[in-house]
Amino acid sequence: MTTVGKDIEKAASILRNGGLVSIPTETVYGLAANALDPEAVARIFEAKRRPTFDPLIIHIADTFSITDYARDIPLTAPLLMKEFWPGPLTLVLPKTEKVPDIVTSGLSTVALRMPAHKITQDLLKILNFPLAAPSANLFGKVSPTRPEHVIEQLSGKVDYVLDGGDSSVGLESTILGWKEEIPTIYRLGGITIEQIEEVIGPVEKQTHSSSNPVAPGMLTSHYAPGVRLIIGDPPDPLPGIGVLRFCEKLIDFPEDRQWLLSGEGDINEAAKNLFFMLRELDKLNLKEVYIELVPEEGLGMAINDRLRRASAENTQNN
Ligand code: TXA
Ligand code: MG
């Protein structure tokens, strides 16, 4: 049975023995194992039924240890680390030999981030290895932002869930790498393009790919809840039809079948609520939910990215 608690020592001891612990981060909950132990990492892929071609992010305790796992670090990388670490930015860099191939799915690069959640920072500090962790959901499904979400999908498959409350950001980290020295965003997330460009100037964006994606988070259909999501205005308010909107309810649609990401129109709150609401909508046995995109700027771009993928037609096997 999977238990939930706040015992960092217990989590550390499970991880030292090659087990799996779900860790709280500011973005979403992760499913963590010792990143330097290939057998422990293999358990992650098995537990979330994730294809082994989809590489994992390594979570580190401090910026100094980056050179243990990454080499040929571009000059702009430390600027980003200084500004956004700890925080929701993942950097993709050429890997060192220390990083097992299973973590990177055989790629020559590794994804690294320093999470901003206090409990996970404390955990990382008492371990003498970093943690490989994808989001703690079944592959292709909505990421967890609360301990109970992890239990819903992974009970019995993870040894312990470290309870750190609700994830404060609620969207996964932004992923950035360098393609022929050009900084390139692979996944939109908790740090906005505008924030990044303020620090290092213009960046490229390569967040869509239907074949051979650099980051499978780029697959068109991902983050899929069970309920059928459709972007656009609802038809007549037939039974079984729901509506998810940014901040204002429709007047000509039943109130009790409408949900708002943020009544206040606060984009941070909307990001924080998004995955939670998709999960709740899933439980209501609705036939279809019509969704409104949020303003396409800042964090709104990352929210809309998730909404588009969650509503992409081909929702199987991603
Ligand atoms: O906020 C987050 O990033 C969360 C928390 C737990 O840290 N983690 C997370 O992991 O979202 P995951 O596995 O669900 O998504 C990681 C993404 C995947 O789309 C993967 O393909 C990409 O990172 N990735 C990992 N290594 C990569 C690499 N070397 N090059 C390109 N993309 C990579
Ligand atoms: Mg994920």
Direct distance between the N- and C-terminal alpha carbons of the chain, in angstroms, rounded to an integer: 28
Mean pLDDT for 161-168 is 98
Residue among 267, 272, 228 at smallest CA distance from 246: 267
Supply the pLDDT for residue 316.
38
- Tokens representing 186 are 């692979």
Which numbered atom of ligand 1 lies nearest the CA of 90? 3
In 3-state terms, what secondary structure has residue 162?
strand
Indicate which atom in ligand 1 lies nearest the CA of residue 190: 1
Could you give the maximum distance between any two Cα atoms of the chain, in Å?
61
Nearest CA to ligand 1 atom 32: 215
**H-only helix segments in the chain:** 8-16, 38-48, 66-69, 76-84, 101-104, 118-126, 147-154, 193-200, 267-282, 299-310
Q: What is d(CA 65, CA 121) in angstroms, rounded to the nearest whole number?
A: 14
Euclidean distance between CA atoms 7 and 170, whole angstroms = 23
Residue 217's pLDDT is what?
55
**Among protein residues, the one whose CA lies closest to atom 15 of ligand 1:** 134
Predicted pLDDT at 238 = 86
Residue 154 has pLDDT above 90, yes or no: yes
| Pocket test residue of 59, 112, 175 for ligand 1, highest count of atoms within 8 A of CB | 175
pLDDT band for position 315 (cuts 50, 70, 90): very low
- Whether residue 317 has pLDDT greater than 90: no
Does the beta carbon of 120 sit less than 6 angstroms from any atom of ligand 1? no
318 CA to centre of ligand 1 in angstroms: 14
Q: Is any atom of ligand 1 closer than 6 Å to the C-beta of 175?
A: yes
Question: 9-36, pLDDT tens digit by residue?
Answer: 999 999 999 999 999 999 999 999 999 9
Q: If you take atom 21 of ligand 1, which residue's CA is the nearest one?
A: 215
pLDDT band at residue 304 using 50, 70 and 90 as cut-offs:
very high
Q: How far apart are CA 149 and CA 113, in angstroms?
A: 23
Place of tokens 């499970």: 14
Q: Which two tokens stand for residue 265?
A: 């129109």
- Of the pLDDT bands very low, low, confident and very high (cuts 50, 70, 90), residue 1 is confident
Higher pLDDT pick, 147 / 224? 147
Three-state SS for 245?
strand
State residue 193's pLDDT score: 97
With a 6 Å cutoff on the Cβ, whether 173 touches ligand 1 is yes
Provide the mean pLDDT of the chain: 93
Q: Is the CB of 267 under 6 A from ligand 1?
A: no
Measured by CA distance, the residue closest to atom 33 of ligand 1 is: 215
Is 109 a pocket residue for ligand 1 (Cβ < 6 Å)?
Answer: yes
Structure confidence by residue, pLDDT tens digits, 176-214:
999 999 999 999 999 999 999 999 999 999 986 544 455
pTM of the model: 0.94
Ligand 1: does its nearest atom lie under 6 Å from the Cβ of 104? yes
- Compute, in angstroms, the gap from residue 223 CA to the centroid of ligand 2: 8
Residue 312 — pLDDT band, cuts 50, 70, 90?
confident
Hey, is 131 helix, strand or coil? strand
- Which are the contacts of 106, defined by CB distance < 8 A and separation ≥ 6? none
Distance 103 CA to ligand 2 centre (A): 14
Please enumerate, as own/partner, the contacts of 142-145 that have beta carbons within 8 Å and a separation of 24 or more.
142/223, 142/224, 142/225, 142/275, 142/278, 142/279, 142/282, 142/310, 143/27, 143/28, 143/29, 143/172, 143/223, 143/275, 144/22, 144/28, 144/29, 144/275, 145/28, 145/29, 145/170, 145/272, 145/275, 145/276
Cα 251 to ligand 2 centre (Å): 36
**Among 76, 149, 65, 72, which Cα is nearest to 113's?**
65
β-bridge mates for residue 58, sequence order: 112, 132
CA of 220 to the centre of ligand 2 (A): 13
Contact 175, 56 (CB under 8 A): no
pLDDT at 313 over 90: no
Nearest to 242 by CA among 258, 228, 224: 258
Residue 45 has a CB neighbour count (10 Å cut-off) of 20
Residue 41 is classified by DSSP as: H
3-state secondary structure of 230: strand
Average pLDDT over residues 97-120: 98
- Res 177: pLDDT: 98
Which residues sit opposite 3 in a β-bridge?
A: 160
pLDDT at 216 over 70: no
CA gap 9, 4 in Å, rounded: 13
**pLDDT at 215 (0 to 100):** 56
Ligand nearest to the CA of 139: 2
- Give the three-state DSSP class for 133: coil
CA dist 37 and 9 (Å) reads 19
What is residue 268's predicted lDDT score, i.e. its pLDDT?
A: 98
Q: What are the distances in angstroms from CA 45 to CA 78, 156, 159, 176?
A: 31, 15, 15, 23
